[in-house]
Amino acid sequence: MCFKRSSMNIREIEAEAFKQIHQNYVMTMFPRNEIRRYSGLKKLMKRGCYFVWILEKAGELIGFAAVLRDPKQNIGILDLFAILPKHQQDGYGSYFLQRLHKEENLPNLLIECEYPTDESKQKRIDFYEKNGAQRSPYDWRSFGVKYEVLYLTKDEMSRDDKIVERITDVYALTLPPLLIRLLTHLKKRS
């Protein structure tokens, strides 16, 4: 690692602070098909289903993460995770992900990664695996995009098939059942 851990700060932010991050970074760093509208995310934050954390060093934004979380089931989906480009490759991403998982009450975290059709997508999967995520035996299709589902869990009883099958429960926080049936599909690979 190329930084002092004592100078790092992770904190949860409110919807208004997230608005600038959404405008300045989410809209430019993520593919259009992965971006949710800020107005919808703000509503989810007010309902207590969507949480955003930032990683700072001496007051400077290093990265951010957002989780869509079902508090009743103690499970969430990592919706956004990014380290600003000038801070990438310095170990901040690993530090941030591990701290979020261990300390921010996220014992069961699902991670959707687009199928690795190019090197950058494979690097993303490799990053999560390097940080303890396990690949599930499931294919997940959401809004026409095919994903590989990985997961981080602290719960010894959470096997991949049980935890991953709950992905539709988390999506139910944002979509009515009919749209979940029409626009998403979870299938175990044979």
Q: Tens digit of pLDDT for each residue in 148-180?
A: 999 998 765 456 667 777 888 899 999 999 999
Per-residue pLDDT, 179: 93
| Average pLDDT of span 182-188 | 91
User: What are the structural domains of the chain?
Assistant: 5-188 (3.40.630.30)
Give, to the nearest 10 degrees, the angle between helix 119-130 and helix 92-103.
Answer: 50
Distance, in Å, from the CA atom of 57 to the CA atom of 5, rounded to the nearest integer, reads 9
